[in-house]
Structure 1
Amino acid sequence: MAETKRINPVLKQVLELGPPLAFFGLYLWLKEDTFVLGGTEYTGFIVATVLFVPIMLVAMGVLWALTGALSRMQVFTAIMVIFFGALTAWFNDERFFKMKTSLVYGFFALLLGIGLLRGKSYLAYVLSDAIDMREEGWMILTRRLCLGFLALAVANEVIWRTMSTDVWVKIETFGFPILLFAFIWVQFAALHKYMDLGDDKG
């Protein structure tokens, strides 16, 4: 198995965060417009969604070419974006792309939940090489993150069904990622005592 190559962290962030920000920019640019293709009228949101897919694939292709690897989460998210982006365009219905977020978060919650039912932390399986933490800590973090993903899935359903597309796009692009990052950061800080930092006594 090829070793993952290190690249400039700023470039890595641009390749990972650039596509969602590009979608946000495209939406702001096109949201007031309508486009007629093949006799069918499409909103700016639909067009921005369709354009987002190749932008994301190009960014992932560059990231793979530079590092030689993509995470399972990145691959799964890409598949979901392509699938629901295609449904959005085919049925000319923005609801498909909006519910994609609920299904992605719901899938992560389900996957972690299955591991918990088996008495295992699938999170540790993915991250234990990068973070040295005792099994008890991994189980606590997995339970909390499972509930966190579930809460985000429910929140997305409530938001896209009850609020405007403008609000949903802003929360999808900035709100959910910031909230998830803050939640994970707080959890790692709270579980610091379970981490093996190499200077433990004994």
Structure 2
Amino acid sequence: MAKTKINPMLKMALEMGPIVAFFIGYLKLKDISFLIAGTEYQGFIIVTAAFIPLMVLSSAILWKLTGHLSKMQIVTLVLVIVMGSLSVWLNDDRFFKMKPTMIYLLFGGVLGFGLLRGKSYLKVVMEEVLPMRQEGWMILTKRLCFFFLGLALLNEAIWRSQSTENWVYFKTFGLTAGVFIFFISQSGLFQKYGEESKDSPDAAE
């Protein structure tokens, strides 16, 4: 299926909607316990159970509209399903809390493996939206690799030492803000090694 561009705001809503819904749901149900089939479940587990199909639905809609899901989106979806289901099945919130750790370890590990081979796997998935010389891609990949590994360690430290509520705030706002700030902080790198897109009007002249 060919890739199709959609409204950026709609794309953001589909990507961030489940996360926002999870956060709002947790705030409403965090102090409530539910007795289901003789087993008591805390609000966090109930919200996690609702988050899984919501994530699947939003990903399916995004794929239907664009004809494409990135490898990062697919891996994230799989881990949400696996770790979320384990938390619900075993009635243990630790599995879902470990999900960001696994995601960032996996991404950091893949980028690190590519660097050992002298390649930038980041370039493969981002070159279309961020034209840049090879040297720049290698520097950015190295920085992002260490950044992801740092986020994995930070997530472990937060969920193991802080309350569930603090972790939810960290996951919803801290991780998102961290990634945003990282890329903003690389503006100097983009300016130094950036190239004009082949699709841009100037490049065609």
TM over 0.5: yes
**Moved beyond 6 Å, runs of 4+:** none
Cross-structure match for 2:30 = 31
TM-score, length basis structure 1: 0.95
| 1:81-96 mapped onto 2 (5 Å cutoff) | 81-96=80-95
1:191 and 1:68 map into 2 onto residues whose CA distance is 29
2:108 and 2:67 map into 1 onto residues whose CA distance is 28
Q: Is the 8 A contact 2:136 2:189 kept in 1?
A: no
SS of aligned partner of 1:191: helix
| Counterpart amino acid of residue 126 in structure 1 | V
Cross-structure match for 2:117 = 118
| Residue 183, structure 1, aligned to residue 166, structure 2 | no
Cross-structure match for 2:157 = 158
Q: CA deviation at 1:91?
A: 1.0
Deviations along 1:19-58, one digit per CA (max 9) or x if unpaired, are 0000001101110100111111100000000100011111
TM-score, length basis structure 2: 0.94
- Equivalent residues, number: 199
Q: CA deviation at 1:60?
A: 0.9
| Counterpart amino acid of residue 59 in structure 2 | M
Structure 1 residue runs of 5 or longer lacking an equivalent are none
Structure 1 window deviating more from structure 2 (182-191 vs 134-143): it is: 182-191
| Counterpart amino acid of residue 92 in structure 1 | N
SS of aligned partner of 1:35: strand
Q: CA deviation at 1:196?
A: 1.4
1:112 and 1:20 map into 2 onto residues whose CA distance is 25
Cross-structure match for 1:78 = 77
| Counterpart amino acid of residue 93 in structure 2 | E
Q: CA deviation at 1:186?
A: 1.3
Cross-structure match for 2:134 = 135
Task: State the percentage of identical aligned residues.
Answer: 50
| Counterpart amino acid of residue 13 in structure 2 | V
CA RMSD of aligned residues (A): 1.3
Deviations along 1:134-166, one digit per CA (max 9) or x if unpaired, are 110000000000000000000000000000101
Structure 2 residue runs of 5 or longer lacking an equivalent are none
SS of aligned partner of 2:186: helix
| Residue 146, structure 1, aligned to residue 182, structure 2 | no
